[in-house]
C-alpha cells in the first residue's frame, strides 16, 4: 500500500543547530563528530554526549543506512512509516521512510537519504529515506 505523503512540520533552527539546517537546505545530512573522543553523534549538538567535549565538527553523512526499527501509524491520515535508521557512519536517527509500500517494510532493509520539503515556505527540508 503506497499512499499520499503526509506534510512535514518545519523544524525550527536555533543557534545550536543553524549549521545543520543550512546544510540540509543544500541537500546535505550532517552528523556531529567529536574532535576529542572521535565519536559521532545524532542529533547534532554543541557538546559531545559521549565525552562532554565542546570541540564538535559537523561532517557530512553518506546518506546510506539500514532500518533499525519502524512502525506504520495506521490510524493517521494518511498512514505513514516512522523509523529509526542506522547510518553507515554509526549513529541511529529518527526519520520517515517515504515513497514505499507500507506493508513490506522490514528491519535491516537498506535505505538512502531523500530530503523532504516542509510546510513553511522558508522552512528547511527534513532528512527522510527511501528504500535503496
Residues engaged in binding other proteins (CB under 8 A):
6, 8-14, 16-17, 21, 31, 39-43, 45, 48-50, 68-76, 80, 82-84, 86, 90-96, 107-108, 118, 126, 128
Residues 46-55 as b or e (16 or more Cβ within 10 Å = b): eebeeeeeee
Measured from the CB atom, the residue of 26 and 107 that comes closer to other proteins is 107
Dihedral sign for Cα 95, 96, 99, 102, please. Answer: positive
Measured from the CB atom, the residue of 92 and 132 that comes closer to other proteins is 92
Measured from the CB atom, the residue of 96 and 100 that comes closer to other proteins is 96
Shortest Å distance, C-beta 11 to other proteins? 4
Shortest Å distance, C-beta 76 to other proteins? 7
For residue 16, how many other CB atoms are within 10 A of its CB? 12
Shortest Å distance, C-beta 55 to other proteins? 15
Closest CA to 31 of 109, 105, 85, 80: 85
Shortest Å distance, C-beta 130 to other proteins? 14
d(CA 75, CA 2): 15
Bridge partners of 131?
111
Measured from the CB atom, the residue of 26 and 94 that comes closer to other proteins is 94
Sheet containing strand 40-41, edge to edge, reads: 40-41, 30-34, 56-60
Amino acid at each position: 500500500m503506497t499512499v499520499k505523503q503526509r506534510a512535514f512540520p518545519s523544524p525550527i533552527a536555533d543557534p545550536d543547530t543553524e549549521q545543520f539546517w543550512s546544510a540540509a537546505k543544500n541537500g546535505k545530512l550532517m552528523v556531529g563528530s567529536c574532535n576529542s573522543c572521535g565519536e559521532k553523534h545524532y542529533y547534532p549538538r554543541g557538546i559531545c554526549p559521549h565525552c562532554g567535549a565542546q570541540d564538535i565538527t559537523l561532517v557530512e553523512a553518506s546518506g546510506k543506512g539500514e532500518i533499525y526499527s519502524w512502525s506504520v501509524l495506521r490510524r493517521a491520515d494518511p498512514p505513514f512509516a516512522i523509523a529509526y535508521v542506522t547510518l553507515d557512519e554509526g549513529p541511529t536517527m529518527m526519520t520517515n521512510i517515504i515513497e514505499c509500500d507500507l506493508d513490506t517494510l522490514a528491519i535491516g532493509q537498506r535505505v538512502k537519504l531523500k530530503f523532504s520539503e516542509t510546510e513553511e515556505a522558508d522552512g528547511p527540508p527534513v532528512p527522510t529515506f527511501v528504500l535503496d
